[in-house]
Structure 1
Amino acid sequence: MRQIILDTETTGLEPREGHRIVEVGGVELFNRKLTGRHLHLYLNPDRDSDPEALAIHGLTTEFLAGHPRFKDVVDQVLDFVQGAEVIIHNASFDTRFLDAELQKVGKGPFSQYCDSITDSLLVAREMHPGKRNSLDALCERYGISNSHRTLHGALLDSELLADVWLAMTRGQDALLMDFDESDSQGGDGSDLSLGKFDPSVLKVLRASEADQAEHEKYMDVLEKQNKKPPMWREMLNPAAE
């Protein structure tokens, strides 16, 4: 399975206001392992960055003036993602800009050139409801050092996101990918991998008191929004007959 972890930096927040991509960075995973293959491009946007964006990425107009424009490297970008699942944190932001850049050079939307697009921010929100799920917050949660990250950079952020993604989805390794080939078939050639799986090898993580308190706070929010106890609380505390 080939996956590309991708990130962009831009001159501002909205392509409809003429903002452009100034940096593209990506790293390749194959069967959940980093291959060492990566993409890193600085781009000349033919405009200044907004002060807020410049404070984030630090890429000045003078620095970017000496680099190619998106139209000059579009094939390089599309070749890198061709046929892969592309994983982006807050994917709607990056794909909006990629679609706008592709439209300028007469090409279809970005989703046409890759197998699928996965938003790691949405995945993180499902896994950690009610918590901060920025890249920095996820690095802290999963014990991934980002101390060298003073400015945002597309390649650095994609490398960090790759580590976060592998940590966030690590359970898939034990459930789906760690069977020995010798164990996957019986003597008659039948598939026995699921039948031979021993769930006792899975690591059990107990919720801490802090985790339980956060859960109760989230249940309180749901109860207030829906004006009735969540199903989870009803199951634990059935009404007396």
Structure 2
Amino acid sequence: MKTKYSRKIVIDIETTGMNKVDKIYKNHKIIEIGAIEIIDRSITSNTFHKYLNPNQEVSDEAFKIHGISNSFLKNKPIFLDIYDEFINYIKNSEIVVHNEGFDISFLDYEIKNINNKFKKISKICNIIDTLKIARDLFPGKKNNLDALCKRYNVLNVNRKLHSALNDSKLLSEIYLRMTRVQKNIDFSHNIKNEFLLINNNDFDKKLKVLKTSLQEKEKHIEYLNNMKNYHKCLWIK
């Protein structure tokens, strides 16, 4: 599907933990934001990366995932300090995340805490959720970042611990590989969970017509006559 934005921002976050209340993640804070810019399907060097002081403790469960300690975050800026820079970075773009319900919910919650008048990110940017795309393409299979890296041959040897910037880089590669052949989706066969991807460029090529020569026609007739005589012999036997 063609969109009005040629600029996409791939975002990943790390947090102090998780606590989902009324379908929104609350009572925990963002401690790292990593973002990668894609323009016209090319990854640029214009990145956004911040560690944040959450002014609360990182849970033991979260620390095991990302390895970011309370002492490391002590002198880092708070979300309010980087808010304007972050909004200016993502505006006029599409946002690509792996699990919109997690990343965007956390970002909206942080923004709401400092600016009640600000609209949700989904109101100012179109959201592309690669987890939803992956579940449509690979129903019933694992579709986490590690599984997709393996499926799309994206090297992730450095991913011993989660890192927002590194994970956004991996997701950028996955997104580009996941969508590079998708021109149209044909639902005419009404097959559940099956995407028939059509590359329009294939239909622009003219097929070369090869005509049979007189010699080839004569050999074909000779072959058919031999086959006819062979079957007659089998019938007589």
Superposition TM-score, scaled by structure 2 size: 0.72
* DSSP 3-state at the match of 1:132: coil
Percent identity over the alignment is 40
Residue 151 of structure 1 is matched in structure 2 by 161
For residues 129 and 69 of structure 2, the distance between their equivalents in structure 1, rounded to whole angstroms, comes to: 29
Q: Deviations over 1:119-163 (max 9, x none)?
A: 100000001111110000000001111011111000000000000
| CA RMSD across the alignment | 2.0
Give the letter for the 1:133 counterpart.
N
Residue 74 of structure 1 is matched in structure 2 by 83
For residues 10 and 199 of structure 1, the distance between their equivalents in structure 2, rounded to whole angstroms, comes to: 54
Q: CA deviation at 1:170?
A: 1.3
1:121 is the counterpart of 2:131: yes
Residue 88 of structure 1 is matched in structure 2 by 97
Give the letter for the 2:108 counterpart.
D
Mapping of 1:186-197 within 5 angstroms? Answer: 197=204
Q: How many residues align structurally?
A: 181
* DSSP 3-state at the match of 2:34: strand
* DSSP 3-state at the match of 2:140: coil
Residue 107 of structure 2 is matched in structure 1 by 98
Sort the Cα spacing of 1:194 and 1:160 in 2 relative to 1 into closer, same or farther, 3 A.
closer
For residues 166 and 62 of structure 2, the distance between their equivalents in structure 1, rounded to whole angstroms, comes to: 17
For residues 199 and 101 of structure 1, the distance between their equivalents in structure 2, rounded to whole angstroms, comes to: 55
Residue 135 of structure 1 is matched in structure 2 by 145
* DSSP 3-state at the match of 1:171: coil
Q: Which has the larger radius of gyration?
A: 2
Deviating more after overlay: 12-21 vs 129-138: 12-21
* DSSP 3-state at the match of 2:162: coil
Sort the Cα spacing of 1:49 and 1:15 in 2 relative to 1 into closer, same or farther, 3 A.
farther
For residues 82 and 67 of structure 2, the distance between their equivalents in structure 1, rounded to whole angstroms, comes to: 22
Contact 1:13 1:19 in 2 (8 A): yes
1:7 is the counterpart of 2:17: no
Give the letter for the 1:64 counterpart.
L
Q: Deviations over 1:11-50 (max 9, x none)?
A: 0112755200000000000010011110000000001111
For residues 76 and 105 of structure 1, the distance between their equivalents in structure 2, rounded to whole angstroms, comes to: 14
Residue 231 of structure 2 is matched in structure 1 by none
